[in-house]
Amino acid sequence: MKYRIKRQVLEMIMESSKDTMPNEFAAFLRARAGIIYEIVMIPTISGRRSATYMLHMKPIDFSIVGTVHSHPSGVLIPSDEDLHLFSQTGNVHIIVGYPFRIDSFRAFDRYGKPIEVDVI
């Protein structure tokens, strides 16, 4: 499935990532008909080099399609830990990075392969 993300959701992610610096920001993505329209926050342990989701607190919600998290370093390449998370938590994963502009993101599928996510 090809995903798109609402501009205001991506802007909120970028602002939240700026506010969380120097730590990472993390959330889940909610979509309907391939359009990411909302983020879902659960308790997360956030540090300078990682954000750990409390996956046991993730709601059973089939509209959650993946994750989003920030890399304050600006490096938009998934780590080994990211790839492990991707394989367990949905089909679309977004990494945003410094300087947290609307174009400062990359998206990946559950295998870590880059995918295109259009901003609408």
Question: Tens digit of pLDDT for each residue in 75-86?
Answer: 999 999 999 989
pTM of the model: 0.91
What are the pLDDT digits (tens) for 37-90?
999 987 666 656 667 666 666 777 899 999 999 999 999 999 999 999 899 889
24 is catalytic: yes
pLDDT at 42: 77
Domain residues for the domain of 74 are: 3-119
Residue 67 corresponds to which tokens in the numbers above?
């994750």
pLDDT at 31: 98
Check whether 112 has a pLDDT greater than 90: yes
Strands 114-115 and 105-108 turn out to be: antiparallel
Residue 111 burial class via C-beta count within 10 angstroms: exposed 0-12, middle 13-18, buried 19 and up: exposed
Calpha distance 57→118 (Å, rounded): 29
Number of structural domains, the chain? 1
Catalytic residue, from 11, 24, 38, 81: name it.
24
Looking up tokens 């046991």 gives 56
Cis peptide before 99 (omega within 30 of 0): yes
Domain containing 98 — which CATH number? 3.40.140.10
Percent composition of the chain: helix, strand, coil (DSSP 3-state, to 5):
20, 40, 40
pLDDT at 17: 95
